[in-house]
Amino acid sequence: DTGVSQDPRHKITKRGQNVTFRCDPISEHNRLYWYRQTLGQGPEFLTYFQNEAQLEKSRLLSDRFSAERPKGSFSTLEIQRTEQGDSAMYLCASSLAWDRVDGYTFGSGTRLTVV
Amino acid sequence: DQQVKQNSPSLSVQEGRISILNCDYTNSMFDYFLWYKKYPAEGPTFLISISSIKDKNEDGRFTVFLNKSAKHLSLHIVPSQPGDSAVYFCAASPTGNQFYFGTGTSLTVIP
């Protein structure tokens, strides 16, 4: 068990380009979450999957953002027509169920810089 | 609208002493609470959790206290060690799915 894996670790892109991030959760975890963290803030919830079903979406997830988890395993987060305000750390987390005492397990994140 | 607040951006404590990190929340529907520790360039690492049916949960050197009437959460670390130096986030949720995080408290444990 290698934990939650995110790829890439860093991404620099020009404004207007599309970017895609990948998250591989812990293998037995059926829940997967995406968060965004900007400098000086705590993580902000973006969206959540249970298996392949996307169950909750934050209002932060504008039309330019889309997330998928096609087979209930890995997930991708795509940002279209990136803007400078999209620059942030994008965190993925997974869990088996809330009532486990270990809560979520986070990955190390993908740091996006839009120039 | 910050529903979870950590009003102390930083805290310094001598090694061996107690560290107390505080967290306040505004939403009375929050029933699940977590504390995370974060080192630079890493994702948050789960520390300890508590649900609203309890007022205390202990795990080794870490104890979380919940005061529901005051909407206040605290994390006690005893004894503090230099390796505890990190940013600590509290998080709360009504359902255990979407969590709302505070802005973090940077703890420095001085050897």
Torsion of CA B78, B79, B85, B89, to 10 degrees: 0
Is A25 touching B (CB cutoff 8 A)? no
What's the pLDDT score for residue A4? 94
What's the pLDDT score for residue A40? 87
- Which candidate in A7, A31, A35 is best for mutational testing of the B interface (most B CBs within 10 A)? A35
What's the pLDDT score for residue B102? 96
CA–CA dist B105, B111 (Å, integer): 19
- Which is it for strands B86-93 and B100-101: parallel, antiparallel or unpaired? antiparallel
CB nearest B44 (choices: A58, A102, A106)? A106
Instruction: Go through A25-45 and write b for each residue having 16 or more CB atoms within 10 A of its CB, e for each that does not.
Output: bbeebebbbbbbbeeebbbbb
What's the pLDDT score for residue B43? 87
- Total length of chain A: 115
Is B97 touching A (CB cutoff 8 A)? yes
Give pLDDT < 70 ranges for chain A.
Answer: 1, 97-103
Give pLDDT < 50 ranges for chain B.
Answer: none
Task: Choose among A48, A3, A57, A52: nearest CA to A25.
Answer: A3
Interchain contact, A48 vs B101, CB within 8 Å: no
- With H, G, I as helix, E, B as strand and everything else as coil, classify residue B84: helix
* Chain B residue nearest residue A50, CA to CA: B97
What's the pLDDT score for residue A99? 52
CA–CA dist A96, B15 (Å, integer): 36
What's the pLDDT score for residue A1? 54
What's the pLDDT score for residue A97? 65
What's the pLDDT score for residue A102? 58
Query: What is the largest distance, in Å, between two alpha-carbon atoms of chain B?
Result: 40
Q: Tokens at residue A45, please? A: 């919830």
Angle at A88 between CA A111 and CA B108, to 5 degrees: 85
Which residue spans within chain B are E strands per DSSP?
4-5, 10-14, 19-25, 32-38, 45-51, 56-59, 62-67, 72-77, 86-93, 100-101, 105-110
Q: Tokens at residue A48, please? A: 């959540």
